[in-house]
Structure 1
Amino acid sequence: MSETGFLSYARYGKDKVRVLRVVREGKWHHIVEYNVQALLEGDIETSYTEADNSVVVATDSIKNITYYLAKISPHVLVPERFALHLATHLVSKYAHIHKAFVTVEQLRWSRIPVSGEQGPAEHPHAFLRDGDDKRIVKVELDASKGKDKLTAKVTAGISDLLVLKTTESAFTNFVRDKYTTLVEVDDRILSTSIDLSYTFAPLAISAPTDADVEQFVLPDIVPGSVWDLAVPTRARAATLDIFASDNSASVQATLYRMAQRVLAENASVLTVSYALPNKHYIPVDMRYLGVENLVPAQAEVFMPIAAPSGLITATIERK
């Protein structure tokens, strides 16, 4: 059969590997729940072009490696570190694999507060799902310059963080023309489902030195770097604080302030991106009943509107 095209790109692996890990410290337990995607690039072209499976690490094996490292890795409770450990092992174990792409989605679990002898306390091994937002980590591990010259790019952030404020949000002075029906408003409900991602400066990764290439050694922890456990906490807190406290002239303006705060507080973060879809709440017109519910100061009953919705996005880079 004659060929009219050539293979310009190939990447494969395992998606939606669901992991719950329990780490026990006596009666005090920790848990993480992850959805993991692990994809590989390398000298795999012949599996596509010549039906040569000898270059294929089975996706089932990738799944098993993910579970095995979830068992043995001392870094499993931290999604950035676990993703880097998994990616490093994959490119180190297989000579013909030159890049690994690992995405870890962490679901929320928090300790259940209970009554204790000395007042409220966190339960040592009982947890609740206290939100639908997720931590997201994306790692690209590159061994193309040698198995002893590993480099990584890491992007982390949050998805599906639903927020709402009932005042101190306006939208006025926008373009008006024959297509404009939107009424200017100096006070409205502002709600969005926040997707935040921030990218760290590229970093060198120490190659494992053990025979099974299962070790992963952390460097010295630099504040504001990917190794700093406080970065996700600061980024989430900055996002929520600016959303709540900003007297918003627009979603765009509030977004920009959020991103500037994340950059200012985390020295190794190079870019910050947000995607903020509008969650519209429309005041119900009750004038037919002689009831005022449209004037902002008297609007108290709203109709949630799922679609269509505005979508505001931007990326802010460090100077």
Structure 2
Amino acid sequence: MSHEISVLSHARYGKDKVRVFRVVREGKWHHIVEYNVQALLEGDIRTSYTEADNSVVVATDSIKNITYYLAKISPHVLIPERFALHLATHLVSKYAHIHKAFVTVEQLRWSRIPISGEQGPEDHPHAFIRDGDDKRTVSVEVDASKGKDKLVASVSAGISDLLVLKTTESAFTNFVRDKYTTLKEVDDRILSTSIDLSYTFAPIEIAAPTDADVEEFPIPAELPGSVWDITVPRKARKATLEIFATDNSASVQATLFTMAQRIISENAHVQSASYALPNKHYIPVDMSYLGIENLVPSKAEVFMPIAAPSGLITATATRK
């Protein structure tokens, strides 16, 4: 009876957690990226679910192998937005029955190791350090529903797990007080959060590959503030850190909105910016039993980091 009361309403599948490390050599200078990639497909795949028909299934192992192959041949591999678009475009172009591809890329943080040179500090050409746990993120959808020559892409990018802290210029007062309220108002506190940022570009048209193997991926000029502009990620990170550091914060909410406004104002083709800011609480230790003042903000110097529970503040700012 169960098959008579339900239908397949949506289906998407692919490969997750494809780990890619790529070295690009330019003489003695080596460039590296490390990615975690997810690639998912939609299209005429219904019968693989409803009729056990595998003839419409591009094996997830093939999707993994295509990811590695494009990491080898793509001239765009060092730029995660472009690599994700290249991979998604190839997938929808290669398979007639696949109409949408969804690719997410998480880029791990590697920076060149600074060394002493003849003219002072300089970057080492092929030695790197993981200098932070934050990651650069990209999420791409390439839609071929209107035809393989009418590709449209939607792109979001951002940052995850960017841990920050400041020891003053953060307050939280004048909030709702009722019988459930135990939190004390404070005009100076530690503010710490692990920032997740996602900003979304206006949809773009993608040129269809013209080579026989649909492996080429030409890109247009780097229109300022668009997905093709390689300075956008740096500007978004800079804006996030500068606002966090310099804003005399009345609340996480107010600081969050100021960050999002700046990202939209600095990048003409960013349509929205979203943040998720979980509070990382640092609670002053009560030492009054020893006759030591450590609770008044101006005297608080020893704190207990609290992992949970934590506040979670989220919001999206959208271009008018």
TM-score band, normalised by the shorter chain? over 0.9
Aligned equivalents of 2:81 and 2:90: distance in 1?
Answer: 14
Partner SS for 2:298: helix
User: Letter of the aligned partner of 2:152 in structure 1?
Assistant: T
Q: How many pairs align? A: 319
Deviation at 1:288, TM superposition (A): 0.4
Deviation at 1:196, TM superposition (A): 0.3
1:120 aligns with 2:121: yes
Query: Match for residue 40 of structure 1?
Result: 41
Deviation at 1:119, TM superposition (A): 1.2
Aligned equivalents of 2:221 and 2:117: distance in 1?
Answer: 38
1:230 aligns with 2:231: yes
Q: TM-score, normalised by structure 1?
A: 0.99
1:317 aligns with 2:318: yes
Query: Match for residue 266 of structure 1?
Result: 267
Aligned equivalents of 2:119 and 2:273: distance in 1?
Answer: 43
Kindly report which structure 2 residues correspond to 1:210-221, keeping only aligned pairs within 5 A, or say none. 210-221=211-222
1:289 aligns with 2:290: yes
Partner SS for 2:86: helix
Query: Match for residue 32 of structure 2?
Result: 31
Deviation at 1:3, TM superposition (A): 2.9
Partner SS for 1:253: helix
Aligned equivalents of 1:4 and 1:226: distance in 2?
Answer: 44
Aligned equivalents of 1:301 and 1:180: distance in 2?
Answer: 25
Partner SS for 1:91: helix
Query: Match for residue 161 of structure 2?
Result: 160
User: Letter of the aligned partner of 2:256 in structure 1?
Assistant: L
Deviation at 1:118, TM superposition (A): 1.5
Aligned equivalents of 1:221 and 1:257: distance in 2?
Answer: 27
1:207 aligns with 2:183: no
**Per-residue CA distance 1:118-165 (angstroms, 9 max, x = gap):** 111100000000000000100010000000000000000000000000
Deviation at 1:77, TM superposition (A): 0.1
Partner SS for 1:296: coil
Percent identity reads 84
1:198 aligns with 2:191: no
In structure 1, runs of 5+ residues without a counterpart are none
Query: Match for residue 103 of structure 1?
Result: 104
Aligned equivalents of 2:122 and 2:245: distance in 1?
Answer: 28
Aligned equivalents of 2:214 and 2:156: distance in 1?
Answer: 24
1:91 aligns with 2:98: no
Aligned equivalents of 1:6 and 1:225: distance in 2?
Answer: 40
In structure 2, runs of 5+ residues without a counterpart are none
**Per-residue CA distance 1:50-99 (angstroms, 9 max, x = gap):** 11000000000000000000000000000000000000000000000000
**Per-residue CA distance 1:242-266 (angstroms, 9 max, x = gap):** 0000000000000010001000100
1:71 aligns with 2:95: no
Deviation at 1:4, TM superposition (A): 2.1
Query: Match for residue 279 of structure 1?
Result: 280
Query: Match for residue 180 of structure 1?
Result: 181
Kindly report which structure 2 residues correspond to 1:125-140, keeping only aligned pairs within 5 A, or say none. 125-140=126-141
Aligned equivalents of 1:49 and 1:301: distance in 2?
Answer: 61
User: Letter of the aligned partner of 1:117 in structure 2?
Assistant: E
Query: Match for residue 308 of structure 2?
Result: 307
Aligned equivalents of 2:121 and 2:132: distance in 1?
Answer: 21
Aligned equivalents of 1:50 and 1:302: distance in 2?
Answer: 60
User: Letter of the aligned partner of 1:59 in structure 2?
Assistant: T
Partner SS for 1:298: coil
Aligned equivalents of 1:117 and 1:204: distance in 2?
Answer: 48
Query: Match for residue 7 of structure 1?
Result: 8
Query: Match for residue 149 of structure 1?
Result: 150
Partner SS for 1:267: coil
Q: RMSD between aligned alpha carbons?
A: 0.6
Partner SS for 2:225: coil
Partner SS for 2:253: helix
